[in-house]
Each structure stands twice: as C-alpha cells, then as structure tokens.
Amino acid sequence: MKISPELLDEVIAHARRDAPAECCGIVATRGGEAVSVHELENIHHSPLRFEMNGLKLFNLITELEDQGLDLGAIYHSHTRSAAYPSQTDVNFARDWPGIEWLIIGLSGDEPEARSYLIDAAREITEVALGNGA
C-alpha cells in the first residue's frame, strides 16, 4: 500500500493519543494508494489487545465501498512491543485475507510503522509502505 507521510502521521498520532491502550482503525485505499484514515475505538481499551465494534466496522466498510474505496489496511498499535504481528494478530488476520496489517510500535524512542500481509497458512510477509502522492 502506498501511504502519504501525512496519512501515516494521522495513524501515528492516533496511536500516541490512545496510549497506553492500543489504538485501531482502518486505511481506505483506491488502486492500492491510501486515501483516508478512519479511527475506530478499541472496545477493550487495553494495552495488550484491540477489538473494533463489529457493527461500526461493517457500516464503515459499506460506506467506503459505496464511495468506490477499498479496505486497504487494518491498523493498530503495539504499545509495549515492536511493530510485528503477535500471535493474536496472526489468528485474527486469517479472517481478513488480502488485507494489510499496519502496526505502529511505540516501545522505542520513536514510533515504528510496518505493514504485513498474513495469509491463511499464517505466513507473515512484510510489505513496503510506499510513499503515496
């Protein structure tokens, strides 16, 4: 997914604002390029896991599809660990084939943003966060 520095900054700002709890949301894309960031509430307000309200997520995806946009990535933060999928992330991703997982790691001095594809066999492949227009 190509994402502009400005949109990535929105995701990072959300992660910082919700810390110490994990944040979550989605990135809408058109043709593989990020066009908007949509913050959602982590209903657990937990530093160890996230979950989005299913009805709100469904309604948002429907609204985006009506606008001709795609669900390009699900994002969340790791407040105490690196920006790498946890086993919980891997298990959750099996229900979202082809969707990127953008993770913001907040455990270091500076936020770290990395994105992954996780397939049905639970193989994790890092994908580049290209600079969008």
Q: Which residue ranges make up each domain of the chain?
A: 2-131
Average pLDDT of every residue of the chain: 94
With cut-offs at 50, 70 and 90, classify the pLDDT of residue 57. Answer: very high
127 has pLDDT over 90: yes
pLDDT at position 94, please? 86
The domain over range 2-131 is classified in CATH as 3.40.140.10: yes
pTM of the model: 0.94
**Long-range contacts, 114-118 (Cβ 8 Å, 24+):** 114/83, 114/84, 115/1, 115/73, 116/84, 116/85, 118/85, 118/89, 118/90, 118/93, 118/94
With cut-offs at 50, 70 and 90, classify the pLDDT of residue 132. Answer: low
